[in-house]
């Protein structure tokens, strides 16, 4: 009896031991699998992040490598031909980017304004105008304060040169009138490559008003001068934007018969954007060529920094305060989101603008960022109008789909003249206020 009991106990002990070993083995395998899953997810996340930011990483590496290469090659005293060859790929890259500016502006503005309602267009344009006026005024005040505090120039230079050499015939009225002349160009094709501006010339000097390239020049105050309107090289972007906005707005009021023209410009915009996306992958090579060429083309880098050091410091400080303080504060107050996260998303565009700018790189970068923040802020303030426009577009898509399924209805609709219809759109949103939920309803009367 005792032997049977002992055998039974041993059997239960062996069963318990094997069960425990198997359970511990299963647990270790499970933990190993979970670790592998977590590692795999992290690796996939890293691969996705690397794929999404590959161009940005390559651009940053290109900037660092171009600085390193430029300062390495400076002691070699390369010839001017060698410097030109180094800068040549960057020049071609910059020319390619500039090539797409005009087609992209025309196509995007016409297609975008045509898809918006006239009344909604006016509200969005008004908000955009107010934003640019206020931010430009803020920039001017900030720049004036910094110049008065730092004073980067030499106040005795004017006394050394004399009054005659610094006397310039300029007037604020001329600048405002030139702004109006460029906003309303007399020739749209000429606006693609020339801008109008006012110059003062001596009365006894005759200059062709079309081909002359004179600018405001030092002249004797006793010499009688006259105003003349001349044209200088440069795209009249303001006039082209004004024409495209008016053209697209009127195009949007013409109903179904204008849909084919709107689709035409929409497709052009998409094609140009795909071309730009392809060219952007050349950014690292272009940046290396541009920055390295600029470093090599400067004769005495130390002397240049010494001469314009305070000027560069003043401009850089103003841009730093505007970009990292004022612009971020405006974005946070209006949009109520983290502004620096939005700023990080613009790093690629910022580096491209800085590397490919033809003259003032800091100003070009600042203008580009200002336009991006303006688009985000105006989009946030115009959510209701944009939602209404999306609703109208959705209704048009639904009507087009129903017409395709009902050919008779399509024939009847095409035979009838297209008339402007009033569409009432009601938007309802819920807003939490003091622990309660408040329903806000707003109606839009749209011409459709």
Query: Over the stretch 243-295, which tens digit does the pLDDT of each residue have?
Result: 998 898 888 888 888 889 999 999 999 999 999 889 988 989 998 998 898 88
Greater pLDDT, 198 or 347: 198
299-316 residue pLDDT tens: 777 777 776 778 888 888
Query: What's the CA gap between 201 and 215, in Å, rounded?
Result: 9
193-246 residue pLDDT tens: 889 888 888 776 644 444 444 444 444 555 677 888 889 888 888 889 889 988
Confidence (pLDDT) at 261:
92
362-394 residue pLDDT tens: 777 877 888 888 888 988 888 877 777 777 667
Confidence (pLDDT) at 42:
81
Share of the chain above pLDDT 70, in %: 69
Query: CB atoms < 10 A from the CB of 57, how many?
Result: 13
Q: What is the mean pLDDT of the chain?
A: 76
Confidence (pLDDT) at 264:
93
Query: What's the CA gap between 282 and 280, in Å, rounded?
Result: 5
In this prediction the pTM is 0.63
Residue 356: closest CA among 87, 65, 71: 87
Question: pLDDT-based confidence at 127, cuts 50/70/90?
Answer: confident
State how far the alpha carbon of 438 is from the alpha carbons of 336, 385, 425, 426, 433, in Å: 20, 20, 20, 16, 7
């Amino acid at each position: 009896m005792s032997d049977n009991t002992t055998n039974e106990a041993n059997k239960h002990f062996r069963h318990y031991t094997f069960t425990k070993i198997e359970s511990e083995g299963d647990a270790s395998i499970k933990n190993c699998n979970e670790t592998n899953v977590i590692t795999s997810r992290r690796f996939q996340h890293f691969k996705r992040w690397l794929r999404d930011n590959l161009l940005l990483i390559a651009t940053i590496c290109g900037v660092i490598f171009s600085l390193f290469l430029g300062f390495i090659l400076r002691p070699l005293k390369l010839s001017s031909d060698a410097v030109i060859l180094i800068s040549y790929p960057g020049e071609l890259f910059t020319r390619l980017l500039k090539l797409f500016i005009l087609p992209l502006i025309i196509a995007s503005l016409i297609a975008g304004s045509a898809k918006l309602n006239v009344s909604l267009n006016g509200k969005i344009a008004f908000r955009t105008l107010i934003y640019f006026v206020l931010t430009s005024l803020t920039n001017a005040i900030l720049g004036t304060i910094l110049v008065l505090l730092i004073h980067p120039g030499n106040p005795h230079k004017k006394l050394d040169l004399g009054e005659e050499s610094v006397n310039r015939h300029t007037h604020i009225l001329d600048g405002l009138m030139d702004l109006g002349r460029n906003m309303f160009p007399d020739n749209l094709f000429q606006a693609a490559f020339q801008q109008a501006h006012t110059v003062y010339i001596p009365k006894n000097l005759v200059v062709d008003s079309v081909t002359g390239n004179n600018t405001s020049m030092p002249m004797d105050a006793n010499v009688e001068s006259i105003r003349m309107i001349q044209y200088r090289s440069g795209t009249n972007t303001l006039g082209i934007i004004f024409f495209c906005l008016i053209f697209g707005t009127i195009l949007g009021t013409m109903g179904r018969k204008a849909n084919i023209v709107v689709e035409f410009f929409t497709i052009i915009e998409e094609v140009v954007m795909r071309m730009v996306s392809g060219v952007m992958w050349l950014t690292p090579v272009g940046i290396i060529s541009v920055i390295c060429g600029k470093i090599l083309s400067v004769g005495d880098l130390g002397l240049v920094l010494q001469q314009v050091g305070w000027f560069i410091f003043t401009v850089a400080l103003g841009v730093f305060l505007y970009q990292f303080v004022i612009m971020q504060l405006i974005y946070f107050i209006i949009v109520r989101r983290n502004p620096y996260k939005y700023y990080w998303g613009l790093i690629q565009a910022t580096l491209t603008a800085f590397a490919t700018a033809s003259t003032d790189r800091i100003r070009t970068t600042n203008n580009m960022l200002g336009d991006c923040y303006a688009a985000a802020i105006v989009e946030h303030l115009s959510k209701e109008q944009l939602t209404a426009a999306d609703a109208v577009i959705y209704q048009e898509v639904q009507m087009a789909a129903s017409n395709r399924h009902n050919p008779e209805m399509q024939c009847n609709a095409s035979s009838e003249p297209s008339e402007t219809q009033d569409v009432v759109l009601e938007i309802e949103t819920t807003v939490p206020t003091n622990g309660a939920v408040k329903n806000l309803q707003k109606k839009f009367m749209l011409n459709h």
